[in-house]
Structure 1
C-alpha cells in the first residue's frame, strides 16, 4: 500500500453564495502579473463569465477572452497560444471549459483558477482533463487547480439535472475503489490508503445526505460541490484517477462512443455503478435507492438511451483503458452476462 509523495492540491478553496464577487481579491492575493486569460462558453459567459471579467477589469487586469464550445485538442492549442503572456488562466463554465483551461494552464505552466457554473462531475478540482478525440474522450494528466471558487447560488440556479449528475459521479467512487483494491491484490498496482479512504468517505457522506438534496437549493448545491472537491482531492493524493474511476467509468466511456446521444457523464456513471456494484457483490440496491431518492437516472429509459446500447457498452467496457484492471477483467463480459446484469439490476426491462 503506497501513499504518494508528490501531491498537488488547490491552494485555496472558496465556496458559498455570492463568492464570485470575491474573484478580484482572490486574484490579487494569488496571482502576480496583470494579464489573465478567461475561458468561458457562450451561455456561461452570460451566467458568470462576463461578471468575472468585469470584476477583474475593475481590479486593473488586462483580460484575454476565449469562448469555447468543445473540449478538443484544437481548442487547447488555441488557448495555449493566446495565454502565452498571461499570469493565469481562469475557467468559468462547465466541464468542457474547465478541462480546456486546466490543460492549457498546465502546458503553459501558469496557475489555473476553476470557477464552475455547474456541479455535474468531479473535474472542477481534479488533476485530470477530459479532452475529446475521434475515438472518444481521453483523460489526460494535468495540474490541479491553483484555486477553486464556487458560487453555490449559481450552481443552485443551474438545471437540477447537473446537481444529480455530480452526486452520481461521487457515488461511483464506491465501485472505483473496490476495483482499485482488486487491482492491488491481483496485479500489485500501487494503492493509496488515504486517497481511497477520502474517496469512500465522500461517497458515504453524500449517501447520508441524499434526503436533503433538493432542486434550486443553495445548501444542496454546497453539499454536492464539497463532495466533488473532496473527490478531486482524492485523485490528487493518489496521483491518478483510481479513487474515482473504475469499471463504472469504463462503461460510461464506452457508452459515450456507442450511444448516438449520450447522457451526462455523472448520470451514466451512476447507472454504471449500480451494475458494477452488483458484479462486485456489493449493495447495489442501496445505490439504486439513493439515486432514485435524488431523482437521478437508474435505467436506460431514464438515460434516454436504447437498451441495446447499454448491453453493447457493457460488453465493450473492458476495452476502455485496458491498462486499468477492474472487476471486468481482461476478457470482459459475454453478451449473455451483460444482459443478465442489466436485467437483474432493472437497468433494462
Structure 2
C-alpha cells in the first residue's frame, strides 16, 4: 500500500510527578510562556488547586480566569470571547475532561498554544488533539489542539473522586476493541493502519488492566500508571492523525447510549460496558475484561446505571450509524434487535 503524507503531532513536554504543581512557574518559564495568560477551569476543580496555581504565578503580570460548566460550543465561544483582543499566545486548561475539551477546542479556533493540567484522570482527552464538544451536530470527537505541554500532578489526580478514576480505566480498556476495529477496517476498506501506533494503544489498555489489580493496594501508583496510559493513548491519536487507535465500536455504543439517554453515566463507564459487548462480538476474551471492571466497581450491568434494557439494545442497533464513515465490527448495517439482545444477555449486561 502506498504511504501518503502523514503528519504526527506530539506535545513539546510532559511533566508528571507528585506535588509538581508547586513548580508550575518554572515549567512555564521553560516553555517560554508569556503573559497575558488565560486559565480555563471548571466548577468542580477544588479551590485549593486554583489558589495554589495563582499564588505560584503571582509574578505573571496579566492572568485572566474563566470558569466553564460543560463541554458545549457555547462555552467554547465564551472562552474565545474572553481571549479576543488580548494578543494571547497560551491557554491553560485546568480541570476534568470537559474543561480540557473546551480549552483545547478554543485554542484550536484561536490558533494559540494549549497547556493541559488535568485534575481527574477520567479519559484520554488530557493528551489528545481531539475534543468532544456538544452542539456541533454530531456526538463524536472533533479536531482540536494537541497540548503544547501536559502537567500531571499525581497528588492532585489521586484525590479525584474514585468514580472518575474508574472511568479513566474504563475508557483506556476500550483500546482493546478500538485497535481490533481499526485493523479490520484496514483489511476490508484499505484504510491507513499504523502498527506502532496500535501497539502503543494496546499497551495503554494493558496498563489499565494492571491498574484494576493494584489500585486497592496502592492508589497513587495506580493513578500514575493510569495517567501515563491515558497520555500514551492521546499521543497514539496524535501519531495516527485520528481517534482510530482509541475509539472504535465500543465508543460508538457509548455515544449511542448518551444520545438516547443523555448524562445517564460517565463516558468511561459506558465505554467499559461497550468494550465487554464488542469483545464478545469480536470473539476475544470479554470475560477477562468484565472481571477487570468488576474488580474496581465499574458497572457491568445496566441496572447499576439506571438505564433500561430497551435503551441498551436500541443503542447497540443504531451504534453503527453514529459514524458511518468509520468501519467497525458492527459493519454497515449494524445488529438486528434480536442479535443485540442476545449479545447483551449472553454477556450479562442485561438480566
CA separation of 1:180 and 1:4: change in aligned 2, threshold 3 A: farther
Two-structure CA RMSD over aligned residues (Å) = 1.7
Q: Does 1:255 align with 2:257?
A: yes
TM-score, normalised with respect to structure 1 = 0.95
Q: Does 1:37 align with 2:4?
A: no
Displacement, 1:83? 1.9
Give secondary structure in 2 for the equivalent of 1:10: coil
Q: Match of 2:76? A: 76
TM-score, normalised with respect to structure 2 = 0.95
Give secondary structure in 1 for the equivalent of 2:93: strand
Q: Match of 2:49? A: 48
Q: Distance in 1 between matches of 2:335 and 2:164?
A: 30
Which residues in structure 2 correspond to 1:1-349 (within 5 Å)?
5-44=6-45, 46-56=47-57, 58-84=58-84, 85-133=87-135, 135=137, 137-214=139-216, 217-349=219-351
Give secondary structure in 2 for the equivalent of 1:90: strand
Displacement, 1:54? 2.7
Give secondary structure in 2 for the equivalent of 1:92: strand
Q: Distance in 1 between matches of 2:94 and 2:100?
A: 7
Superposed CA deviations along residues 77-111 of structure 1, whole A, max 9, x for unmatched, are 22123224222100011111101110111122211
Q: Distance in 1 between matches of 2:176 and 2:215?
A: 19
Q: Distance in 2 between matches of 1:215 and 1:317?
A: 37
Give secondary structure in 2 for the equivalent of 1:5: coil
* Structure 1 contact 31–87 (Cα < 8 Å) conserved: no
Q: Distance in 2 between matches of 1:117 and 1:32?
A: 21
Displacement, 1:307? 1.8
Q: Distance in 2 between matches of 1:106 and 1:61?
A: 24
Q: Which moved more, 1:291-300 or 1:240-249?
A: 291-300
Give secondary structure in 2 for the equivalent of 1:332: coil
* Structure 2 contact 185–328 (Cα < 8 Å) conserved: yes
Gaps of 5+ in 1: none
Q: Which moved more, 1:82-91 or 1:275-284?
A: 82-91
Gaps of 5+ in 2: none
Displacement, 1:267? 0.7
* Structure 1 contact 31–88 (Cα < 8 Å) conserved: no
Aligned length: 348
CA separation of 1:215 and 1:63: change in aligned 2, threshold 3 A: farther
CA separation of 1:348 and 1:138: change in aligned 2, threshold 3 A: same
Q: Distance in 2 between matches of 1:114 and 1:4?
A: 28
Displacement, 1:50? 3.0
Give secondary structure in 2 for the equivalent of 1:143: coil
Displacement, 1:304? 2.7
Displacement, 1:31? 3.0
Give secondary structure in 2 for the equivalent of 1:44: coil
Displacement, 1:60? 2.1
Displacement, 1:217? 2.2
Q: Distance in 2 between matches of 1:24 and 1:139?
A: 32
Q: Distance in 2 between matches of 1:153 and 1:45?
A: 13
